[in-house]
Amino acid sequence: MNKFQDVSNRTLRVGVLLLVSMLSVGTTGYMFIEHYSLIDAFFMTIITISTVGFSEVHPLSGVGKMFTSGLIITSLGSLAYVGSNLARFVFDGELVNYLKTYRVDQKIQKLRNHVIIIGYGRNGEQVAMELRDCGIDFVVIDKRDNVINRIREDVNLLYIRGDATHEDVLKHAGVDYARALIATTPSDSDNVFVALTARSMNPSLKIVSRASETESVSKLQRAGVTNVIMPERIGGQRMAKLVTQPDVVEFFEYILLQHSKDVSLEEVSCTNMADCFVNRPIEDLKSKDSSGINLVGIKISGAKYVFNPSPELTLSRGDQLFVLGSPSQINSFRSLLERG
């Protein structure tokens, strides 16, 4: 639950509590002081706190008049408190933000096979941009008010304000139905707690986490992180490669990071591979392939990587193929692989 929901719910609870309290005190007071019946005491309380100007049910004693005066003053103060809070909630823009958050929550509840991004700093924002370009649904979790206000400016972003180390926040983000979680916060300890919590809730979840310190890598892996990324190390390696192999770096960046997607390097799963290719050499697949893709590598049964695989290498349904080509070429190849 976000701040605006907290404010509105708290104001509503206080208002209801004050109303019930005034009705209870007023009804009891008139029954005890003026010996009214329950109905007469309740009616007298209603007309008193609403200040509608009706005459009293029965003539009041001096004590009854003092009690009525106190009830009126108390009711006016209480109504002024609740009214001012509701007015601030409406005119300060909190109502608009509350409605936006409500609509976002409704969309989040419908997400399936999405990605959860923890933290929306520089790394988190870049992750969100890449996922959006790939057409993958995602939801951002961050506990900082200024960040949530910035996220709200983009009407297409789904977000939750909260601490991702808490199970209820991850539950709200649909961790049970997510395909992956990416922890981008600069705090390694927070990322460890997030990984532990998320892994316990969804054992099949793919978890990618940022690490700031080298000694945190093993801790994150023990916490259930699938892949650990150290941005500083990757940045240093890239800068060195730009000196030693600049064209190679630019070539792979063009393939992997381009926005036009004229050509891309993608992984094609063999899970649904046609029976005619199972336990058969790659050359059997290539002999039927007219898509024009380039098979540049293979991951054998989730373990060993083979680059530029031999035509005699046999395929199994546990393999992953890495192919280079245009989207139409890759779709054609995937169709051949699955249909034979």
CATH label of the domain that carries residue 43: 1.10.287.70
Q: Which residue type sits at 192? A: V
Report d(CA 42, CA 39) in Å as an integer.
5
Closest CA to 216 of 206, 203, 230, 234: 230
Whether the CB-CB separation of 217 and 230 falls below 8 Å is answered with yes
Count of structural domains within the chain: 3
Question: With 90 as the cut, is the pLDDT of residue 177 above it?
Answer: yes
Has residue 107 been placed in a domain? no
CB atoms within 10 A of CB 179: 16
Whether the CB-CB separation of 333 and 323 falls below 8 Å is answered with yes
* Percentage of the chain lying above the pLDDT 90 cut: 43
The band of 54, judged by pLDDT with boundaries at 50, 70 and 90, is: confident
Q: Check whether residue 169 and residue 225 sit in a common domain.
A: yes
The band of 145, judged by pLDDT with boundaries at 50, 70 and 90, is: confident
Has residue 254 been placed in a domain? no
Indicate the DSSP class of residue 281: B
Has residue 240 been placed in a domain? no
Question: With 90 as the cut, is the pLDDT of residue 203 above it?
Answer: yes
**Alpha helix locations (H) across 34-166?**
38-49, 62-91, 94-109, 122-133, 145-152
Q: Check whether residue 282 and residue 215 sit in a common domain.
A: no
Please identify, among 63, 92, 121, the residue that sits at the C-terminal boundary of a domain.
92
Q: What is the pLDDT of residues 9-48, one digit of tens each?
A: 666 677 778 888 888 988 999 899 988 999 988 998 888 8
Can you give the pLDDT at residue 158? 92
Q: Check whether residue 88 and residue 170 sit in a common domain.
A: no
Has residue 257 been placed in a domain? no
- The CATH number linked to 148 is 3.40.50.720
Has residue 285 been placed in a domain? yes
Whether the CB-CB separation of 129 and 43 falls below 8 Å is answered with no
Question: With 80 as the cut, is the pLDDT of residue 80 above it?
Answer: no
Nearest 10 degrees: Cα torsion 221, 222, 224, 229: -20
Question: With 90 as the cut, is the pLDDT of residue 211 above it?
Answer: yes
Radius of gyration (Cα) for the chain, nearest Å? 32
Q: What is the pLDDT of residues 276-323, one digit of tens each?
A: 999 999 999 988 988 889 999 999 876 788 998 999 999 999 999 999
The band of 7, judged by pLDDT with boundaries at 50, 70 and 90, is: low
Q: Check whether residue 133 and residue 204 sit in a common domain.
A: yes
Q: Check whether residue 122 and residue 81 sit in a common domain.
A: no
Mean pLDDT estimate for the chain: 86
DSSP string, 197-258: HHHHH-TT-EEEEE-SSTTHHHHHHHTT-SEEE-HHHHHHHHHHHHHHSHHHHHHHHHHHH-
Has residue 212 been placed in a domain? yes
Q: Check whether residue 210 and residue 154 sit in a common domain.
A: yes
CB atoms within 10 A of CB 339: 10
Report d(CA 67, CA 62) in Å as an integer.
9
Please identify, among 214, 234, 254, the residue that sits at the C-terminal boundary of a domain.
234
Has residue 103 been placed in a domain? no
pTM over 0.95: no
Has residue 251 been placed in a domain? no
Question: With 90 as the cut, is the pLDDT of residue 120 above it?
Answer: yes
Q: Which secondary-structure segment (H or E) carries 27?
A: helix 3-33
Q: Check whether residue 82 and residue 133 sit in a common domain.
A: no
Can you give the pLDDT at residue 112? 94
Report d(CA 127, CA 122) in Å as an integer.
9
Indicate the DSSP class of residue 275: G
Domain of 293 in residue numbering reads as 262-339
